[in-house]
Amino acid sequence: MMKPADAERVTGYHVGGISPFGQKKRVPTFIEQSAFAHGEVFMNGGQRGLQVKLTPSDAASALEAKVAELI
């Protein structure tokens, strides 16, 4: 994962508000493999206050994310 200062510089967003959707500059996205134990997950939808609910598989597909053990 990126250091917070690097993430803010690369994405143009503040840490805590960096969504995997709607980025000005696309950066690699990772999904914790344990998310796949759940039928659905919630993610920031790219706008303040907007949450999206989707399956982990759909999230990984839409974001071209890599699944990894991140803990």
CA distances from 68 to 12, 14, 18, 50, 60 (A): 25, 24, 19, 25, 11
Phi, psi of 49 (to 5 degrees): 85, 0
Arithmetic mean of pLDDT, 35-48: 92
Q: What is the pLDDT of residue 18?
A: 85
Rounded Cα distance, 8 and 6, in Å? 5
Neighbours of 51 (CB within 10 A): 10
Mean pLDDT of the chain: 90
Residues 28, 18: contact at Cβ < 8 Å?
no
Domain boundary assignment for the chain:
31-71
